[in-house]
């Protein structure tokens, strides 16, 4: 204790920061930072120094209005300046949507250091007015938000227009994750995204607003990460053109496709900076994988669903040729091959692929893999809601 007490204040702060970094990524320190909690017990001084890390993330999703009121009264007065990230989830059972929004607005207004917002809006459009109030508050004058995860409605897509207005009020935005955004007025939304000069990470999930009209020449941001999940309004050709817009910077792609046929002709990708490629697709799109042969991939993660007439051994043979094409750069391989019912195929078909990877010193895992496994290459944008 005496040794810790005698350390310079700067070093004590650095120790708190290092201990906070040990908490699992995406986990609230208030819930899971056991090491930091132990450090708080050393003395009142250490408790004060560690508070700004302990309360860095406030996970308020699925909380009742009374829960939010308690947080507003007990936590915010002491720790408002420590909170950089806040999550607000869907309606809780029992209603009271407007009251919850009122409390959420009160909290957001009192967090001057808020940088990262994860907002999952109401479960139906009857909450449209409440959600608009939240969007307006997040984009208030002087907002410091640089990371935004915005999810629309469970049963009806969120209108694109209020989202585009919000984005134009967040000029410092560097990470943007949009889910369930409708196609009406999507041109305004797309223009707002293209105007974000500091945007480096862009993710669309089940968004009709992610469509071929994204392909305009006025893109400002130098994207490093492009993630697109189940956006059927974006054709494969447009996906290729969009990714190629960032050929000088793009390092990470995570693409989940519902398409079943590769257009012809389909030129190869020319992405000389691409390091991390994660794809989920049907086996009929397997030729798409060979269009990345020019990229110096370090990480290759694949989920492939077999067509009913496709043989697993044929796909694994093609996978072996694929990874061999990247033998000079590849460091990690994750592969799941499933039948049309979603069941993993017999691992016996994958043995040759496993042996080759192990002989080459490539970290290999065959079977179900963690979509957000960190290999030190990806700038991740996963939602804190799961």
Give the model confidence (pLDDT) of 90-141 as tens digits. Answer: 655 555 677 888 888 899 999 998 999 998 876 555 666 677 788 888 888 7
Domain spanning 56-234: CATH superfamily: Ribonuclease Inhibitor (3.80.10.10)
Contact at 8 Å (CB) between 97 and 123? no
State the first-to-last Cα distance of the chain, in angstroms, to the nearest integer.
39
Which of 164, 240, 166, 171 lies closest to 209, judged by CA?
164
C-alpha–C-alpha distance, residues 299 and 252, integer Å: 9
Instruction: Judge residue 243's burial from the number of C-beta atoms within 10 Å of its C-beta, 0-12 exposed, 13-18 middle, 19 or more buried.
Output: buried
What is the Cα 261 distance to its own chain's centre?
A: 27
What's the confidence (pLDDT) of residue 276?
Answer: 96
DSSP H helices, 207-274, are 236-244
3-state secondary structure of 88: strand
Over the Cα atoms of the chain, what is R_g? Answer: 23
Sequential pLDDT tens for the chain (386 residues): 456 666 676 666 676 666 666 555 434 444 445 666 666 656 666 666 666 666 788 888 878 888 899 999 998 988 888 888 999 876 555 556 778 888 888 999 999 989 999 988 765 556 666 777 888 888 887 788 999 999 887 666 788 888 999 999 999 999 999 998 888 778 888 899 999 999 999 999 998 888 888 777 678 778 999 999 999 899 999 999 999 999 999 999 999 998 889 998 899 999 999 999 999 999 999 999 999 999 999 999 999 999 888 888 889 999 999 999 999 999 999 999 998 887 888 777 789 999 999 999 999 999 888 877 877 765 544 443 33
Torsion 345-348-354-356 (CA) sign:
negative
Contact at 8 Å (CB) between 179 and 208? no
What's the confidence (pLDDT) of residue 293?
Answer: 93
């Amino acid at each position: 204790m005496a040794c810790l007490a005698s350390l310079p204040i700067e070093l004590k702060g650095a120790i708190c920061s290092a201990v906070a970094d040990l908490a699992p990524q995406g986990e609230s320190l208030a819930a899971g930072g056991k090491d930091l909690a132990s450090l708080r017990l050393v003395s009142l001084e250490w408790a004060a120094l560690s508070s700004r890390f302990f309360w860095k993330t406030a996970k308020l999703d699925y909380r009742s209005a009374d829960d939010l009121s308690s947080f507003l009264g007990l936590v915010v007065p002491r720790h408002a300046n420590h909170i950089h990230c806040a999550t607000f989830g869907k309606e809780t059972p029992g209603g009271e949507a407007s009251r919850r929004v009122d409390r959420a607005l009160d909290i957001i207004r009192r967090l001057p250091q808020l940088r990262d917002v994860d907002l999952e809006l109401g479960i139906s459009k009857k909450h449209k007015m409440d959600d608009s109030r939240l969007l307006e508050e997040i984009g208030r004058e002087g907002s410091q938000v640089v990371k935004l995860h915005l999810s629309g409605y469970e049963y009806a897509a969120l209108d694109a227009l209020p989202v585009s207005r919000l984005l134009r009020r967040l000029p410092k935005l560097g990470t943007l994750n949009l889910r369930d955004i409708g196609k009406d007025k999507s041109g305004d939304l797309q223009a707002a995204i293209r105007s974000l000069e500091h945007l480096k990470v862009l993710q669309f999930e089940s968004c009709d607003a992610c469509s071929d009209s994204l392909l305009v020449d006025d893109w400002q941001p130098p994207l490093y990460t492009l993630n697109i999940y189940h956006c059927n309004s974006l054709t494969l050709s447009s996906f290729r053109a969009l990714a190629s817009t960032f050929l000088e910077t793009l390092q990470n792609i995570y693409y989940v496709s519902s398409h079943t046929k590769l257009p012809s002709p389909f030129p190869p990708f020319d992405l000389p900076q691409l390091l991390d490629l994660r794809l989920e697709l049907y086996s009929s799109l397997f030729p798409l994988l060979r269009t990345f042969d020019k990229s110096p991939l370090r990480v290759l993660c694949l989920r492939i669903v077999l067509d009913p007439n496709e043989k697993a051994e044929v796909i694994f043979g093609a996978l072996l040729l694929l990874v061999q094409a990247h033998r000079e750069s590849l460091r990690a391989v994750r592969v799941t091959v499933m039948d049309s019912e979603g069941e993993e195929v017999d691992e016996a078909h994958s043995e040759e692929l496993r042996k080759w990877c192990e002989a080459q010193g490539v970290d290999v895992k065959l079977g179900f893999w963690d979509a957000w496994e960190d290999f030190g290459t990806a700038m991740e944008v996963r939602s804190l809601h799961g």
